[in-house]
């Protein structure tokens, strides 16, 4: 939508408390301007801001696990042996992955619950 086609003016008053609440929600959404935030809210009804920190941690854990598994596979292929410490290391890595996955699922469940309300 081009700005030059926006020929309607919309204005409304809010209390100081309401204004602070709007500004706080705007900051949480990651939107930089009040105009953009209010327009987004008026058209879409909600703004979803995703903090991908937990997913980035999971991707890092996946990379570490893949690297460890590759090292173990090379050692097994060259020596024919696998050590209990290697197996324990893989179990520990997978436990961390499952823990991280559960965190992410918890966050997504919270988002879904808020959307239903």
In a shared domain, residues 74 and 39: no
Is-contact 76 82, C-beta < 8 A?
yes
Closest CA to 112 of 53, 46, 39: 46
In a shared domain, residues 58 and 110: yes
At 1, is the secondary structure helix, strand, or coil?
coil
In a shared domain, residues 72 and 99: yes
Question: CA dist 41 to 8, 22, 87, 100, 113, Å?
Answer: 17, 11, 51, 32, 19
Q: Is 27 domain-assigned?
A: yes
- The boundaries of the domain holding residue 30 are 10-44
pLDDT tens, residue order, the chain (117 aa): 555 788 898 899 999 999 999 999 899 888 999 999 999 899 887 667 777 888 888 899 899 889 988 999 998 999 988 888 988 988 998 898 999 899 888 888 887 776 655
Closest CA to 85 of 77, 75, 100: 75
Look at the chain and report how many structural domains it folds into. Answer: 2
Q: Is 4 domain-assigned?
A: no
């Amino acid at each position: 939508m081009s700005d030059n086609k926006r020929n309607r003016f919309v204005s409304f008053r809010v209390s100081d408390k309401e204004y602070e609440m709007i500004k706080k929600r705007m900051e949480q959404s990651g939107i930089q301007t009040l105009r953009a935030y209010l327009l987004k809210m008026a058209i879409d009804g909600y703004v979803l801001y995703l903090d991908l920190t937990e997913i980035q941690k999971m991707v890092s854990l996946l990379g570490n696990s893949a690297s460890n598994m590759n090292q173990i596979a090379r050692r097994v292929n060259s020596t024919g042996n696998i050590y209990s410490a290697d197996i324990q290391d893989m179990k520990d890595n997978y436990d961390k992955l499952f823990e991280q996955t559960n965190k992410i699922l918890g966050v997504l469940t919270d988002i879904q619950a808020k959307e239903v309300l």
